[in-house]
């Protein structure tokens, strides 16, 4: 670091080395069309997904666009309130602002009828017994407390059904999403079938080749 | 299960909610900006001397032309002259002054580049480019730009 | 240099607030329109680049989810700049120059309505010596306007002429947000907003999106009758500290215009990204435009100013007028940052 020449008036005082510059920005977040539809469904204790056409993937929660097709998702689809755990993690840290008792489990849950996992809590089972393939169901708040928020579902709990041993990892069928990476192979234009044109893709990634 | 409910129905009122984002930053200043903030705490204004002899306030860490380190800090001000100004009729809650005020760029005595500040003045009619101003120091200073509470016109120099 | 042209341009209507759409929903029509105009899909695009900033709506990494609008699967070559989309176009142009690809999609969007835009923009200032003062973007522009007036280079009446002409020209722009036919005198009769700026000297706050398709050589010629060739493009930046700049000139614009070759031929039209009226006067001088040049026939940023998007729209507006034969050669300028801090100049030209 270069030698700094200070004026005499500052030669013998404790130098400032850091400064706090806190800043707060206030916004009014608007949910837009797709998220508003999803959250209004929640107030009726329905889980509503969207899709671009009757044959394309069902996104829950939807953002209004199908990232495979680059198309709007005008069709609303109610999906099941039961699904399969496709991945999970056990949280052993107390995060600021979280009232959760640790350890607890956050999981990706593929609801029956959906093509995208939602992330939610798993409760009513010890954390060390949660597993991929486990069947779970939504547990809603009391009706009086239902609001347009995903927190209206308190958590998911085991249904007691047998595990789905053929658990469908998101995207596996069409070679997209988490499943594409199973086996340690990254998705590329060569290995993945193009969902718009139907071209390309090796067999394990949904193509013919 | 999973039947299409419908093509889209009217969504009705779009949901919205307050969203507040806070950035609780604590920044490392480095020696040059650190010295500037040290000066504010001590009620001393400093600039850095560029290679062409210009004095830059707030001090620059690097020469604006060559990019070389600047290492010589010199005292400037505390008075200076307004080089440009803008009159704020409706101050924002985040602004330091509650009543209408002027943003000013003020070139401190001994400095060659102006710095930004808020000037407390009764009306815009008394503010002018070229008018002399001086800092009003905050009572409690910690080495922060807010150690200058605001600027005021030097009396007897009203425009 | 490869010949690279703008072959299509689309924008959403500029509105003060688009609460019924999230960012990807708002963007999609612009992307689809730009691709459809030239009968292309994302599968025909070699590189996609976007410009936006997440501070505007306070939604972190929104630029990742807006990519859904293009259908980025299997993984496409893409990139993002936290700058106006004009800089995204520059990146795409550089990529096209490398010769590996023949087409590129560029898009930009902004939802400024959820936040307090002039205050959000304070976050781009020096975080220690300026940011904590919360000097909003309009106030800083007003300091620049006062400097210009004090210098004798322009008057409030000159600014008023810009205001009146821009908003009147905007009557012919179906995408414009502010358009009316009111005289300069009427404007001067209004109260100061942040003196010396009146409300009319300031841009609207806009939600909106835009997209452009670029193509090289024969691909461009096969898609459109008259491609708008990019003959020069350059961008430069002024120092972050306003005190280090002469606010009455735009040195970075001047150099960018020189490097882009503005002076190499006659300029028919210029779309200047001047959010505040006085900035058009500074830019006109910096670029070296004569009085015979039609400036901002679209109404410019005074008619609609979606952040991170209005600069890209300037390029699109010039390209459209070249492709439809209204103009043969034009200049598009884009800016980002306070008081014209960063500037990009593009020269576009049609075949004779």
**pLDDT at A190 (0 to 100):** 60
Q: Is the Cβ of C67 closer than 8 Å to some Cβ of chain A?
A: yes
DSSP state of C277: H
Nearest-by-CA chain A residue for B22 = A24
| Neighbour subunits, C (≥3 Cβ pairs < 8 A) | A, B
Q: Catalogue all structural domains in chain A, each as residue range(s) with its CATH number.
A: 31-79 (no CATH), 81-168 (2.40.50), 174-209 (no CATH)
Residue-range definition of the domain harbouring residue B75? 30-153
Q: What is the pLDDT of residue A180?
A: 43
d(CA A179, CA C180): 56
| Residues contacting C258, CB < 8 A, separation 6+ | none
CATH number of C117-203+229-349: 3.40.47.10
Give residue-wise pLDDT tens across range B82-105. 999 999 999 999 999 999 999 999
Tell how far CA C267 is from the center of its chain.
18
Mean pLDDT of chain A: 85
pLDDT at residue A167 greater than cutoff 90: no
Residues C156-199: pLDDT tens digits?
Answer: 999 999 999 999 999 999 999 999 999 999 999 999 999 999 99
Tell me if B109 is assigned to some domain: yes
Q: Are residues C136 and B92, on separate chains, in Cβ contact within 8 Å?
A: yes
Neighbouring CB atoms inside 10 A of B25's CB total 13
How confident is the model at residue C73, as a pLDDT? 83
Whether C65 sits inside 8 A of A68 (CB atoms) is no
Report the alpha-carbon distance of residue C79 to residue C317 in Å, rounded: 24
Which residue do the tokens 């329109």 mark?
A: C33
Calpha distance A6→B38 (Å, rounded): 11
CB contact under 8 A, B113 and C147: no
> What is the distance between the alpha carbons of residues B46 and B38, in angstroms, rounded to a whole number?
9
Partner residues linked to A110 by β-bridges = A84
Cβ–Cβ below 8 Å for C143 and B86: yes
Record: contact C75-A187, CB cut-off 8 A: yes
How would you write C219-263 as a 3-class SS string?
A: HHHHHCCCCEEEEEEEEEECCCCHHHCCCCCCHHHHHHHHHHCHH
Residue A186 has pLDDT above 60, yes or no: no
Ranked by mean pLDDT, the top range of A29-38, A91-100, A200-209 is A29-38
Position with higher pLDDT, A42 vs B159 = A42
- Closest Cβ opposite residue B44 in set A10, A24, A26: A10
In a domain, residue B83? The reply is yes
Question: For testing the chain B interface, which of C57, C134, C146, C245 should be mutated: the one with the most B CBs within 10 Å?
Answer: C146
The string of DSSP codes covering B76-134 is E-S-EEEEEEEEESS--TTSS-SS-EEEEEEEETT-SS-EEEEEE-S-GGG--TT-EEE
Q: Would you call C135 and B83 a contact, using CB atoms and an 8 Å cutoff?
A: no
Interface test with C, best of B11, B84, B129 (most C CBs within 10 A): B84
Closest approach of chain B CAs to the CA of A44, in angstroms? 14
Question: Would you state the pLDDT for residue C219?
Answer: 97
Nearest C-alpha of chain C: how many angstroms from A72?
A: 7
Look at residue A208 in the predicted model and tell me its pLDDT. Answer: 55
A-contacting chains (≥3 CB pairs under 8 Å)? B, C
Give the residue with greater pLDDT, B72 vs A193: B72
Contact A188 C75 (CB under 8 A): yes
Is residue C66 within 8 A of residue A34, CB to CB? The reply is no
**Shortest CB distance from B92 goes to which of C58, C119, C197?**
C119
Which residues 97-116 in chain A show a CB within 8 A of chain C? none
| Res A174: pLDDT | 45
Instruction: Sort out which chain B residues have CB atoms less than 8 A from C195's CB and list them.
Output: 86-87, 89, 124
pLDDT confidence band for A176 (50 / 70 / 90): very low
CATH 3.40.47.10 residue ranges of chain C are: 4-116+205-228, 117-203+229-349
What spatial distance separates the first Cα and last Cα of chain A, rounded to whole Å?
60
Which helix (H) or strand (E) segment is A85 a member of? Answer: strand A82-91
* End-to-end CA separation in angstroms for chain B: 78
Tell whether A52 lies on the interface with C, counting CB pairs under 8 A: no
- Per the CB < 8 Å rule, is A15 touching B38? yes
Helix (H) or strand (E) holding C156: helix C156-169
Instruction: Reply yes or no on whether the pLDDT at A191 is more than 70.
Output: no
Look at residue B8 and tell me if it is in a domain.
Answer: no
Interface with chain A: mutation pick from B5, B7, B15, highest number of A CBs within 10 Å: B15
**Cross-chain residue pair A78–B14, CB shorter than 8 Å:** no
| Model confidence pLDDT, tens digit, residues C226-241 | 999 999 999 999 998 8
Q: Which of B14, B25, B118 sits opposite C133 (nearest CB)?
A: B118
Cβ-defined contact of C57 to A29 (cutoff 8 Å):
yes
3-state secondary structure of B26: strand
Supply the pLDDT for residue A194.
81
Inter-chain CB proximity C25 and A31 less than 8 Å: no
Which pLDDT score, from 0 to 100, does residue A115 have?
Answer: 87
Contact: B35, A77; criterion CB under 8 Å: no
Domain total in chain B: 1
Residue A177: per-residue pLDDT: 43
Mutate which: C56, C133, C144, C193, vs B, most B CBs within 10 A: C133
Q: Determine the residue of chain A that is closest to B13 in CA distance.
A: A36
Q: How does residue A164 score in pLDDT terms, banded at 50, 70 and 90?
A: confident
| Per-residue pLDDT tens over the stretch C54-67 | 999 998 888 998 99
pLDDT at site A182: 46
Interface A-C, measured as beta-carbon pairs within 8 A, has a size of 108
pTM of the model: 0.93
In angstroms, the separation between the Cα of residue A39 and the nearest Cα of chain C is: 14
CB contact under 8 A, A18 and B26: yes
**Residue A17: its pLDDT value, please?**
96
Asked if the model's pLDDT at residue C281 lies above 70, the reply is yes
pLDDT reported for residue A165: 76
Note whether residue B4 is domain-resident.
no
Q: To the nearest whole angstrom, how far is the Cα of A130 from the nearest Cα of chain B?
A: 26
Q: Which pLDDT score is estimated for A198?
A: 80
Q: Best interface-test mutation with B: which of C241, C276, C278 has the largest number of B CBs within 10 A?
A: C241
Residue ranges in chain B whose pLDDT is less than 50: 1-8, 158-159
CATH fold for domain C4-116+205-228: Peroxisomal Thiolase; Chain A, domain 1 (3.40.47)
Q: Cβ separation of A31 and C114 shorter than 8 Å?
A: no
Residue B12: predicted pLDDT: 74
Residue B25 within any structural domain of the chain: no
Residue B113 belongs to a domain: yes
């Amino acid at each position: 670091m270069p030698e700094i020449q200070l004026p005499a008036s500052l030669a013998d005082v404790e130098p400032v080395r850091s400064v706090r510059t806190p800043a707060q920005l206030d916004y009014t977040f608007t949910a837009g069309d797709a998220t508003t539809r999803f959250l209004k469904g929640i107030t009726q204790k329905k889980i509503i997904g969207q899709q671009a056409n009757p044959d394309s993937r069902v996104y829950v929660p939807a953002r209004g666009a199908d990232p495979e097709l680059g198309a709007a998702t005008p069709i609303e689809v109610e999906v099941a309130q039961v699904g399969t755990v496709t991945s999970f993690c056990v949280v052993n840290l107390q995060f600021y602002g979280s009232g959760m008792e640790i350890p607890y489990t956050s999981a990706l849950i593929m609801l029956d009828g959906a093509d995208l996992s939602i992330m939610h809590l798993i409760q009513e089972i010890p954390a060390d017994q949660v597993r991929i393939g486990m069947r779970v169901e939504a547990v809603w708040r009391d009706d009086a407390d239902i609001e347009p928020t995903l927190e209206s579902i308190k958590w998911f709990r085991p249904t007691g059904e047998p595990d789905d041993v053929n658990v469908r990892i998101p995207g596996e069928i069409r070679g997209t999403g988490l499943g594409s990476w199973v086996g340690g192979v990254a998705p590329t234009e060569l290995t993945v079938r193009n969902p718009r044109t139907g071209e390309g893709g090796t067999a394990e990634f949904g193509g013919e080749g | 299960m999973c039947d299409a409910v419908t093509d889209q129905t009217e969504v009705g009122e779009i949901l919205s909610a307050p969203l507040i984002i806070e950035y609780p930053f604590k920044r490392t200043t480095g020696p040059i900006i650190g010295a500037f903030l040290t000066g504010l705490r001590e009620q001393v204004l400093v600039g850095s001397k560029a290679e062409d002899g210009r004095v830059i306030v707030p001090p620059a860490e690097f020469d604006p032309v060559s990019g070389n380190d600047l290492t010589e800090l010199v005292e400037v001000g505390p008075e200076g002259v307004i080089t440009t100004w803008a009159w704020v009729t409706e101050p924002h809650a985040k602004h330091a002054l509650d009543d209408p005020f002027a943003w000013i760029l003020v070139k401190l005595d001994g400095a060659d580049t102006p710095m930004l500040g808020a000037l407390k003045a009764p009306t815009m009619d008394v503010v002018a480019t070229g008018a002399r101003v001086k800092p009003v120091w905050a009572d409690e200073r910690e080495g922060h730009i807010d150690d200058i509470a605001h600027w005021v016109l030097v009396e007897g120099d009203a425009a | 240099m490869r010949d690279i042209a703008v072959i299509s341009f689309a924008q959403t209507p500029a509105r003060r607030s688009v609460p019924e759409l999230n960012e990807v929903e708002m963007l999609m029509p612009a992307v689809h329109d730009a691709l459809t105009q030239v009968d292309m899909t994302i599968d025909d695009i070699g590189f996609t680049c976007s410009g936006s900033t997440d501070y505007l709506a306070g939604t972190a990494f929104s630029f990742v989810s807006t990519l859904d609008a293009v259908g980025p699967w299997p993984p496409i070559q893409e990139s993002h700049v936290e700058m106006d989309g004009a800089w995204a176009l520059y990146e795409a142009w550089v990529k096209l120059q490398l010769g590996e690809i023949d087409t590129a999609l560029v898009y930009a969007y902004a939802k400024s309505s959820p936040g307090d835009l002039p205050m959000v923009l304070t976050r781009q200032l020096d975080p220690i010596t300026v940011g904590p003062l919360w000097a909003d973007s309009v106030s800083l522009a007003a300091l620049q306007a006062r400097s210009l007036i004090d210098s004798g280079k322009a008057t409030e009446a000159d600014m008023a002429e810009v205001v009146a002409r821009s908003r009147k020209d905007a009557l012919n722009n179906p995408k414009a947000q502010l358009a009316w036919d009111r005289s300069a005198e009427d404007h001067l009769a209004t109260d100061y907003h942040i003196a010396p700026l009146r409300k009319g000297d300031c841009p609207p706050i806009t939600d909106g999106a835009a997209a452009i398709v670029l193509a090289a050589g024969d691909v461009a010629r096969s898609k459109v009758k008259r491609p708008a060739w990019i003959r020069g493009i350059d961008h430069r930046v002024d120092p972050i500290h306003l005190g280090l700049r002469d606010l009455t000139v735009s040195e970075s614009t001047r150099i960018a215009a020189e490097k882009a070759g503005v002076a190499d031929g006659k300029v028919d039209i210029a779309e200047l990204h001047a959010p505040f009226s006085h900035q058009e006067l500074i830019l006109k001088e910096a670029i070296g435009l004569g009085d015979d040049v039609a400036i901002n026939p679209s109404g410019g940023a005074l008619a609609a100013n979606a952040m991170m998007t209005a600069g890209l729209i300037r390029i699109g507006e010039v390209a459209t007028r070249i492709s439809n034969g209204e103009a043969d050669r034009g200049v598009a300028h884009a800016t980002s940052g306070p008081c014209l801090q960063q500037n990009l100049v593009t020269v576009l030209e049609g075949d004779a």
